[in-house]
């Protein structure tokens, strides 16, 4: 099973700051990595697919990069609605797996 590790577990930032979230895979997954945002009581929302492609309707302040085992999600300038939990997920090998999440909270 591909294990995804996310860091940091919590990221405390102020609105307008830049946030960088990391996801590391236990083996190479090419670019078959997605990022999701989840707010309390809501379903996850797809932000980025295949490592660097923004999903429909996702603002340009969200960007993803990486391949192989190391991936990052960057939020260029945090808006108040961006405070949430972010998960990475791989679809290269079954079972598809998620990372444990990074909580982005208000500093």
Partner 1 sequence: EVQLVESGGGLVQPGGSLRLSCAASGFSVSSNYMSWVRQAPGKGLEWVSLIYSDGRTYYTDSVKGRFTISRHNSMNTLYLQVNSLRGEDTAVYYCVRENQNWGRGTLVTVSS
Q: Which of 13, 22, 24, 45 binds partner 1 (CB under 8 A)?
A: 45
Please give the Cα distance from 69 to 88 (Å, whole number). Answer: 12
94, 71 Cβ separation under 8 angstroms: no
| Count of residues in contact with partner 1, rule CB under 8 A | 21
Sign (positive or negative) of CA dihedral 96, 101, 102, 104: positive
Q: Is 57 in the site for partner 1 (CB under 8 A)?
A: no
Question: For residues 66 and 99, which CB has a smaller minimum distance to partner 1 in the complex?
Answer: 99
Binding site for partner 1 (CB under 8 A): 34, 36, 42-46, 49, 55-56, 87, 89, 91, 94-101
């Amino acid at each position: 099973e591909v294990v995804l590790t996310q860091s940091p577990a919590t990221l405390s930032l102020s609105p307008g700051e830049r946030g960088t979230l990391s996801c590391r895979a236990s083996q190479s997954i090419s670019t078959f990595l997605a990022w999701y945002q989840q707010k309390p009581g809501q379903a996850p929302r797809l932000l980025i697919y295949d490592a660097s492609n923004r999903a429909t309707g996702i603002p340009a302040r969200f960007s993803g990069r990486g391949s192989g085992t190391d991936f990052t999600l960057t939020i260029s300038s945090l808006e108040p609605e961006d405070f949430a939990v972010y998960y990475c997920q791989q679809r290269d090998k079954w079972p598809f797996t998620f990372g444990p999440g990074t909580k982005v909270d208000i500093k």
